Amino acid sequence: MATTATALEGVSVTHRTLDVNGVKIHVAEAGDGSAGGTVLFLHGFLELWHSWRHQLRSLSSRGYRCVAPDLRGYGDSSAPPSPSSYTALHLVGDVVGVLDALSLPQVFVVGQGWGALLAWHLATFRPDRVRALVALSVAFMPRDPAVRPLQAFRRLYGDGYYLLRLQEPGAMEAEFARMDTGFIFRRILTTRDTGAISFSPEWWGPQDQHVPLPPWLSEDYVDSLAAKFGQTGFAGAMNFYRCLDLNWELTAPWTGAKVTVPTKYIAGEDAMSYNYTGVQEYIHKGGLKGDVPGLEEVAVIAGAAHYVHLEKAEEVNEHIYEFIKKF
């Protein structure tokens, strides 16, 4: 378990690779834990550990130990070739393995996008390991025993929805391979679409178009994502989506299970996941609280979309800190 050190936004970051459940998980750490707690950050789709750079800086400076892994299939972590190796059980198992390897019996958990889905699963399967939870962008999704997820998405958005187009292994990877990787990230990170994104040629538009970056996105960050995914490819990230129906099968024993750990939900008001059909009613009219009895706070951030932790970093940092410092 060799360690290396780098600097990120003026913060000293230690890197190590852990052997966990038959795979290798790269973990970045910052902060000394003098405040009395550790915060585990779980990144989202097409992100990496350093997508949390603003939060690592903020929380580590306040005395928290911060741990940010590359999830399996991403960055410097292992990427098993089989799509069925990316189920919720595998991913939660990786997280528990990381906590065990670092001798962390319980942590604060902050998840964004797919990382939020993973955080919800962790809090459902192993609440004993979660001191408090902050979920960004993606709300809890209770298991519907009558409808498979892909069937539900197909009914809502049709076969052209990106989540459905991702299902055939290799197909979307081939489409991405025909595009410039930097363009892919510029287009995805800056989209304000709240409808059924397709990742079709029509959605991408001309690849020679200039996609300007907003002030909250740096060229260095986009370039670093493009470089790393240029090396690793996108199959690992896409395989998460290919387990949606398999997750539905495997999580049958947790049908109706509640999330009881102290929880805060944060969303950008323009995020696609916050604007899905029925989501706002579920969040604000008692559905989310019914499924997540531990829910204490909901924050909807004006002017922000899916990548709220990047777009409104300081505001999100304060929301996280003010919540977790209570526990």
Q: Find all residues with CB under 8 Å of 146, minimum gap 6, and list them.
A: none
Burial class (CB in 10 A: 0-12, 13-18, 19+), 49: buried
pLDDT of amino acid 17: 98
Burial class (CB in 10 A: 0-12, 13-18, 19+), 182: middle
Q: Find all residues with CB under 8 Å of 47, minimum gap 6, and list them.
A: 74, 112, 113, 115, 225
Owning domain of residue 216: 3-324
Q: Within its chain, how far is the Cα of 252 from the centroid?
A: 23
Average pLDDT over residues 124-147: 98
Beta bridge partners of 289: none
Q: Find all residues with CB under 8 Å of 173, minimum gap 6, and list them.
A: 233, 234, 235, 238
The domain that holds 126 is classified in CATH as: 3.40.50.1820
Q: What is the DSSP string of 14-69?
A: EEEEEEETTEEEEEEEE---TTS-EEEEE--TT--GGGGHHHHHHHHHTT-EEEEE
Average pLDDT over residues 160-172: 94
pLDDT of amino acid 22: 95
Average pLDDT over residues 170-188: 96
Does position 1 have pLDDT exceeding 70, yes or no? no
pLDDT of amino acid 5: 63
Average pLDDT over residues 92-98: 98
Residue among 44, 129, 86 at smallest CA distance from 247? 86
229-257: per-residue pLDDT in tens? 999 999 999 999 999 999 999 999 999 99
For 265, the 3-state DSSP assignment is strand
12-63: per-residue pLDDT in tens? 999 999 999 999 999 999 999 999 999 999 999 999 999 999 999 999 999 9
Neighbours of 296 (CB within 10 A): 13
**pTM for the whole thing?**
0.97
Number of domains composing the chain: 1
